[in-house]
């Protein structure tokens, strides 16, 4: 299923409480040449997914990178630090700020997921070969107890 024909009613998960993690979709993305990206419509697709996620009242966690390097477009003092407007947090959506490539390193993301009893994550972003890859790899090793609707053995 692609996002083009995706409807909220069709969302199927392995658990009863999934969360959407949107990783590093910040204005800094525009500082890089569009010719180096193979996904120029990623932000539009993520915004569409986010709208459907919000419509279903499912939890969202926005993750942003805060570079340690002053000359980085991801540094907190840079114009590139804010989220892209199309996917910016609203209301009580959570924001996790990281300074490493993985969203679980030196953040409270794992604790947040545990406290909210999140048992499945769906991860999206623009730069897949860095922060998304690292975040998914660490997440795959986490032990999050599965929730079931049936009787427990």
pLDDT of residue 38: 78
DSSP helix/strand/coil, 113: helix
Taken in order of first residue, the domains within the chain and their CATH numbers are 15-140 (3.40.50.850)
DSSP helix/strand/coil, 8: helix
* Strand (E) or helix (H) holding 137: helix 133-140
Residue count of the chain: 153
For 40-63, the three-class secondary structure string (H helix, E strand, C coil) is CCHHHHHHHHHHHHHHCCCCEEEE
pLDDT greater than 80 at residue 140: yes
User: Would you say 97 and 59 are in contact if contact means Cβ atoms under 8 Å apart?
Assistant: no
User: Would you say 99 and 63 are in contact if contact means Cβ atoms under 8 Å apart?
Assistant: no
> Is the model more confident about 144 or about 146?
144
pLDDT, tens digit, 9 for 90 and up, residues 35-72: 677 788 899 999 999 999 999 999 999 999 999 999 99
Phi and psi, residue 17, nearest 5°: -140, 80
Query: Comparing C-alpha atoms, which of 122, 22, 120, 123 is closest to residue 63?
Result: 22
pLDDT, tens digit, 9 for 90 and up, residues 109-134: 999 999 998 988 999 998 878 899 99
How many Å is the maximal CA-CA distance in the chain? 55
Average pLDDT, the chain: 84
- How far apart CA 152 and CA 113 sit, in angstroms, is 22
Segment 18-46 mean pLDDT: 86
- pLDDT category at 34 given cuts 50, 70, 90 is low
Rg (CA), the chain: 16
pLDDT greater than 90 at residue 143: no
- Per-residue tokens: 1: 């299923």
């Amino acid at each position: 299923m692609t996002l083009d024909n995706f409807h909220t009613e069709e969302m199927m998960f392995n658990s009863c409480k999934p969360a959407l993690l949107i990783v590093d979709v910040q204005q800094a993305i525009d500082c890089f040449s569009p010719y180096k990206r193979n996904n120029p419509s990623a932000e539009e697709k993520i915004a569409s997914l986010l709208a459907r996620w919000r419509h279903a009242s499912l939890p969202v966690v926005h993750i942003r990178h805060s570079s340690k390097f002053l000359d980085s477009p991801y540094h907190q003092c840079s114009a590139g630090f804010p989220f892209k407007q199309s996917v910016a947090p609203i209301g009580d959506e959570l924001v996790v700020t990281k300074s490493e490539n993985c969203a679980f390193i030196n953040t409270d993301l794992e604790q947040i997921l545990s406290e909210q009893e999140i048992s499945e994550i769906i991860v999206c972003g623009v730069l897949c070969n860095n922060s998304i890859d690292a975040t998914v790899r660490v997440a795959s090793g986490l032990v999050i107890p599965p929730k079931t609707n049936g009787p427990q053995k």
